[in-house]
Amino acid sequence: MAHRWKNTLTRADATPMAAYMNRRQIMGGALGLGLIGAAGMARSQDADALVPNSWEDITQYNNFYEFGTGKSDPARNAHTLTTEPWTVVIDGMVDNPGDYSMAQIMDAMTIEERIYRFRCVEAWSMVIPWNGFELADLLTMAGVQDGAKYVAFETALRPDEMPGVRFPVLDWPYVEGLRLDEAMHPLTMMATGIYGKTIPNQNGAPMRLVVPWKYGFKSIKSIVRITVTEDEPPTSWNKSNGREYGFYSNVNPEVDHPRWSQASERVVGGGLFAKRQPTLMFNGYEDEVASLYEGMDLRANY
Amino acid sequence: MLVDRINQAARKVPTWTLYIVSMIPVPVLLYMAQTGGLGREPVKALEHELGEIALQLVIVGLCISPLRKFAGVNLIKFRRAIGVVAFIYVVLHLLVWAVLDVQSLDRVVADIIKRPYITIGMAAFVLMIPLAFTSNNMSVRWLGPVWRKLHLLTYPIAILSSVHFIWLSKGFQLEPLVYLTVILGLLALRVPALVKKVAA
């Protein structure tokens, strides 16, 4: 069931490793000349001509509070996470519940590349060339039973390997959830790689969710449990502050976060003088996903 | 005695050196922002660093009188300069926020009105303005006893600033709470003297 969704961004849009190293040097030069504003504008013009962020942007600017709340903390601290062996428990309303080893999952799934926009609730964004498989394929393998309505996810909780969990920034372990139709949507994927390389720990190794039309915090990292349920599962940020973070958390430029506007975003990697760019409805995936929310008040179901 | 030696040394250091030394982080931060030293997204990082330095300077300023009272260390002559430098950092913090981050005057105004954490940050800034402009010998002479009363505004400024920091943080974070605790502790040290003054 792989390849059900066709990228509008192609491999040609992804910057090859060697080329983006050059690009960085060019940008470094531009920076010195104070031309970075122009570079930032070129970057934000056309959605179809999106340039994926560099490997450095993607792997050194992360929110993964289990490894610290600073943006560079995960890159610094996440090396301690043991990702081999790794087991994912799939349970709840499935025909084949059990412990699935990462190797088992990788054998059964077809890995493909998806270049997606990534929009954080904090109003910054990136473009990321993910490698992974559709979550629908994994759920189909587990056999979703009739009557199931939601899918719950849980991140590993390892105090010995995660310095950030010593303080209750959130109620650990991190948990997230999707409606079943959102989870089965062809855009929804499990990422196991970036730029064709194994996904780094700070990005959620060995397997993390990617839901490109929702704010980044929905895309839970380092998953150890997937539970198919009938009831809406609790989600970490909603538990922490329900007024600010709803269950749906679809990217929506018209519904502000109570503490900041969501109308525009800062593209990571543009430097000091980059222009903000307007945020797109459903992060630019309106054609693909708007039908999931037909008749719903998106302001009430934020 | 160590205290005497500190006091002697402090007497020899002219106040203007404090301005020079305390402004060193500005070019350093700008250089870091341009060269990747502040991470992949330098605007927020720079904004945050400048705000945090301002808050730290407010705390340093609040330490001066307890240091004299409880330890005999006299650094009073630097206090006004510390306040002025804190104000400069707040101005820079505001400029980075408005010009590099928000990038629109309409949205700056909307944020000040609509977002309570920005409203109180802005309130702290407004309260600092009269203090910054009266931190000179002429104003001290001119205002007389009113000057001391006016500069008690430092207390609400400190509290507002640290609440601003707590409020803008996501989740339950330790660092901003430490700032508020330190500030409340420093203000608590002043309570006995204030009570005595009111009772007298």
CB contact under 8 A, B167 and A259: yes
Give me the tens of pLDDT residue by residue for chain B, a chain 200 residues long: 889 999 999 999 999 999 999 999 999 999 999 999 999 999 999 999 999 999 999 999 999 999 999 999 999 999 999 999 999 999 999 999 999 999 999 999 999 999 999 999 999 999 999 999 999 999 999 999 999 999 999 999 999 999 999 999 999 999 999 999 999 999 999 999 888 888 87
Asked if residue A165 has pLDDT above 90, the reply is: yes
Closest CA to A187 of A104, A99, A258, A288: A288
- Helix or strand (DSSP H, E) at A141: helix A135-142
With b for 16 or more beta-carbon neighbours within 10 A and e for fewer, the B34-68 pattern comes to: beeebbbbbbbbbbbbbbbbbbebbbbbbbbbebe
Instruction: Please indicate, yes or no, if residue A143 is contained in any of the structural domains.
Output: yes
- Residues B157-168 pLDDT 10s: 999 999 999 999
Query: CA of A266 to nearest chain B CA: how many angstroms apart?
Result: 8
More confidently predicted of A37 and B128: B128
**Token pair recorded at residue B3:** 């205290």
| Six token digits for residue A99 | 């412990």
- Chain A, nearest residue to B164 by Cα: A259
pLDDT in tens, A89-115: 999 999 999 999 999 999 999 999 999
Supply A66's token pair. Answer: 């289990």
pLDDT number for residue A111: 97
Q: In this structure, is residue A209 part of a structural domain?
A: yes
Residue A79 lies in a domain: yes
Residues in contact with A205: Cβ distance below 8 Å, sequence separation at least 6, in sequence order: A81, A83, A198, A199, A222
Query: Which value, to the nearest 10 degrees, does the dihedral of the CA atoms of residues B113, B116, B118, B119 take?
Result: 60
Q: What is the per-residue pLDDT for A2? A: 72
pLDDT tens-digit series, residues B131-190: 999 999 999 999 999 999 999 999 999 999 999 999 999 999 999 999 999 999 999 999
Q: What percentage of chain A has pLDDT greater than the value 90?
A: 83
Test B117 with A57 for CB contact under 8 angstroms: no
B33 and A71: CB-CB below 8 Å? no
A71 CB neighbours in chain B (<8 A) are: 39-41, 45
ipTM value, please give it: 0.89
Structural domains counted in chain A: 1
Residue A231 buriedness (CB in 10 A; 0-12 / 13-18 / 19+): exposed
Task: State how far Cα A140 lies from the chain centre.
Answer: 21
Q: A6 lies in a domain?
A: no
Mutate to test the interface with A, among B41, B43, B167 (most CBs of A within 10 A): B41
Over residues A238-250, the mean pLDDT reads 97
Closest CA relative to residue B51, chosen from B81, B89, B88: B89
Tell me the residue range of the domain where A43 lies: 17-293
List for chain A the helix, strand, coil content (%; round to 5).
30, 25, 45
CATH number of the domain to which A110 belongs: 3.90.420.10
- Smallest Cβ–Cβ distance between B41 and the set A240, A268, A276 belongs to A268
Encoding tokens for residue A171? 């109620």
Peptide bond into A253 cis (omega under 30): no
User: Band of the pLDDT at A25, cuts 50, 70, 90?
Assistant: very low
Report if residue A301 sits inside a domain: no
CA diameter of chain A: 61
Best CA proximity match to B56, nearest among B178, B168, B172, B170: B178
SS3 B147: helix
- What share of chain A has pLDDT > 70, as a percent? 85
- Whole-angstrom Cα distance, residue A138 to residue A152? 14
* Closest residue, chain A, to B36 (C-alpha): A271
**Within-domain flag for A82:** yes
Number of residues that make up chain B:
200
Which of A61, A170, A258 has the CB atom closest to B41's CB atom? A61
- Residue B46: its chain A contacts at CB < 8 A? 272
Please count the other Cβ atoms lying within 10 Å of the Cβ belonging to residue B123: 16
Q: Which of residues 57-96 of B touch A (CB under 8 A)?
A: none
Domain assignment of residue A223, yes or no: yes
Alpha helices in chain B (DSSP H): 2-12, 16-23, 25-35, 42-66, 79-95, 105-114, 116-133, 137-143, 145-150, 154-168, 174-188, 191-199
**Is A110 within a domain?**
yes
